[in-house]
Amino acid sequence: MSLPSEKNIQLPELPQEASPAEIISAGLKVADGPVALACSFSVEDVVIVDLLQEVAPQVRLFALDTGRLNEETYEVAEAVSQRYGIAIDWFFPERDAVEKLEREKGLFSFRESLDNRHECCRIRKVEPLQRALKGLGGWITGLRREQSVTRTGLAPLEVDTSNGGILKINPLLEWSEAQVWEYAESKRLPVNKLHRQGYPSIGCAPCTRAIKDGEHPRAGRWWWEDPEHKECGLHRR
């Protein structure tokens, strides 16, 4: 799968306290082509969907269906689509690659080693993402700095060198979890039921669990791995 061709993006200077709406607007002005939101239907992503209705309703949504999502995730996707009257572009893994992986290594190879987990994520997430980003000038994510040690070095606007040099927009980067929930509750947004059951971070069902009191928000993702490894490859640096 070839990546988008390299683009020449001049990142603007943002005010230190730039709002999510200001970050989105600034990104749309400099993106070399259309921009889309990568939506996993987390509370962060649903907040961004709501923001986009006022700031940039032309921005489309796409989602990655790994084949192992929770039912609750699909429920939020349907609620978002109906509430805002928007279509969601779903991208799926290549069938042959999934069949080969499961035939040769079984259904839970991703728990056997970091390499195996990366292989599964590459097939189910990274390759579909590359197809989803094809032809785009930029993409929007719900990443927040406090979520993980792997996200402390992010910027609100970045050149995504891992995906052909397109623009990456992280409008909620500086928001706290409390700010996200305050917005979601004030707007009565559809929220994944698992968030209320101790799942601050939700991915594929076999790779996500509820966290215990005092645990880091990302402790429930790939809980058998060290914190510095807890990315799936969608946000390589």
What CA–CA distances, in Å, run from 133 to 61, 137, 141?
11, 8, 12
Q: What is the pLDDT of residues 70-91, one digit of tens each?
A: 999 999 999 999 999 999 999 9
Residue 83 lies in a domain: yes
Q: What is the pLDDT of residues 28-77, one digit of tens each?
A: 999 999 999 999 999 999 999 999 999 999 999 999 999 999 999 999 99
4, pLDDT greater than 80: no
Per-residue pLDDT at 150: 53
The total of structural domains in the chain comes to: 1
Mean pLDDT of 162-190: 96
Q: Are strands 166-169 and 157-160 parallel, antiparallel or unpaired?
A: antiparallel
Q: Are strands 138-140 and 166-169 parallel, antiparallel or unpaired?
A: parallel
In this structure, what token pair is assigned to residue 69? 């999502």
143, pLDDT greater than 50: yes
What's the mean per-residue pLDDT of the chain? 90
Specify the CATH number for the domain of residue 63.
Answer: 3.40.50.620
116-138 burial, b at 16+ Cβ within 10 Å, e below that, comes to bbbbbbbbbbbbbbbebbeebbb
CB of 14 closer than 8 Å to CB of 22: yes
Residue 15 lies in a domain: no
Per-residue pLDDT at 112: 93
Per-residue pLDDT at 106: 96
Domain span at residue 186?
Answer: 20-192
Residue 229 lies in a domain: no
What is the signed CA dihedral for 176, 179, 185, 190, rounded to 10 degrees?
Answer: -50
Residue 35 lies in a domain: yes
Residue 37 lies in a domain: yes
Mean pLDDT of 114-141: 96
177, pLDDT greater than 80: yes
Pick from 26, 20, 219, 36: which is nearest to 138 by CA? 36
Q: For the packed helices 43-55 and 177-186, what is the interaxial angle rounded to 10 degrees?
A: 60
- At residue 214 the predicted structure's pLDDT band, cuts being 50, 70 and 90, is confident
147, pLDDT greater than 80: no
Residue 218 lies in a domain: no
Per-residue pLDDT at 216: 83
Residue 3 lies in a domain: no
CB of 132 closer than 8 Å to CB of 37: no
Q: Is 232 marked active-site?
A: yes
Residue 164 lies in a domain: yes
Annotated catalytic residue, options 39, 121, 204, 232: 232
Q: What is the pTM of this model?
A: 0.88
- Give the C-alpha separation, 128 to 130, whole Å: 5
CB of 197 closer than 8 Å to CB of 189: no
For the chain, percent of residues with pLDDT exceeding 90: 76
Residue 206: HSE in the Cβ half-sphere, 13 Å Cα cutoff: 11
In sequence order, what DSSP letters do the residues of 76-103 get, joined into one string? HHHHHHHHHT--EEEE---HHHHHHHHH
